[in-house]
């Protein structure tokens, strides 16, 4: 199984998809790939415009995309996809439409067979067991929160340490601590902007310019530096067997 799970599409002051382009090119390889794109996280941008924006960037690196919204049979498109790309936006909207189109099981099965998967923001959220660590507002109601379960831990994309002056509400870390209190044994990774996970060959590596923050109940949060081998995240906590395909 091969995954590229990216925290965010755009760093401040950079062009769209600029910071992960080198890794996306390397991940897909030099032979031209026409990947299947899922634009369903887009809400305030049309699927046509979203697809065009991503297509333009992918063509710059010698690849192309076809969006599922352009096709009569999205499940068949996934079953025949040489690569699958899931864009960011609203995670709840993405999941509801994936469920409505019957894509959850189709994508999971295809990726477990070795098809490369790239996701950013909401697209990284849905690679986890659940979307319960998304930052997004539930603007629509999916039939459930369980998603692709490609990795056995949770990601919180766009992770921020900041507590703005005058803000009296919960910080991001406090929200994650609530999750691990209610879900003991589950790792949560605060994936900061400008970083991503590369999962392949039964291992996982942090790529980017910032460390990731790791949360688990009854443990102090820890920082993993870029380049670190994070393969321990692919083990079910408390077990000795790798739960990774």
- The single residue of 7, 67, 121, 130 carrying the catalytic annotation is 121
Distance CA 80, CA 95 (A): 21
Residue 75: which residues within 8 A CB-CB, separation 6 or more? 101, 102, 103, 106
Contacts of 215 by beta carbon, 8 Å cutoff, 6+ apart: 173, 176, 177, 180, 187, 188, 189, 190, 221
Q: With contact defined as beta carbons under 8 Å apart, do 136 and 107 qualify?
A: no
Of 158, 203, 231, 245, the active-site residue reads 158
Cβ–Cβ < 8 Å for 240, 202: no
Active site residue 69: no
User: Strand, coil or helix: what is 199?
Assistant: strand
Task: Tell me, yes or no, if 136 is annotated catalytic.
Answer: yes
Q: Tell me, yes or no, if 93 is annotated catalytic.
A: no
d(CA 154, CA 121): 12
Q: Which residues are catalytic?
A: 121, 136, 158
């Amino acid at each position: 199984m091969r995954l590229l799970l990216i925290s965010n599409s755009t760093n401040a002051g950079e062009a769209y998809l600029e910071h992960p382009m080198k890794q996306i090119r390397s991940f897909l390889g030099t032979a031209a790939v026409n990947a299947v794109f899922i634009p369903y996280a887009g809400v305030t941008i049309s699927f046509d415009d979203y697809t065009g924006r991503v297509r333009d960037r992918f063509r710059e690196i010698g690849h192309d995309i076809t969006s599922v919204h352009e096709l009569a049979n999205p499940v068949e498109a996934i079953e025949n996809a040489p690569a699958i790309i899931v864009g960011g936006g609203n995670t709840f909207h993405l999941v509801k439409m994936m469920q409505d189109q019957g894509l959850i099981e189709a994508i999971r099965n295809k990726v477990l067979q070795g098809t490369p998967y790239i996701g950013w923001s909401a697209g990284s959220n849905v690679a986890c067991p659940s979307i319960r660590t998304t930052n997004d507002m539930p603007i629509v109601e999916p039939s459930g929160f369980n998603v692709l379960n490609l990795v056995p831990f949770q990601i919180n994309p766009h992770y921020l340490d900041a507590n703005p002056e005058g803000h009296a509400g919960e910080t991001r870390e406090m929200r994650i601590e609530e999750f691990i209190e209610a879900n003991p044994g589950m790792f949560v990774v605060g994936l900061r902007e400008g970083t991503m996970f590369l999962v392949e060959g039964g291992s996982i590596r942090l790529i980017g310019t910032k460390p990731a923050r790791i949360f688990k109940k009854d443990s102090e949060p820890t920082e993993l530096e870029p380049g670190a081998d994070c393969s321990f995240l692919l083990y079910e906590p408390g077990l000795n067997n790798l739960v990774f395909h």
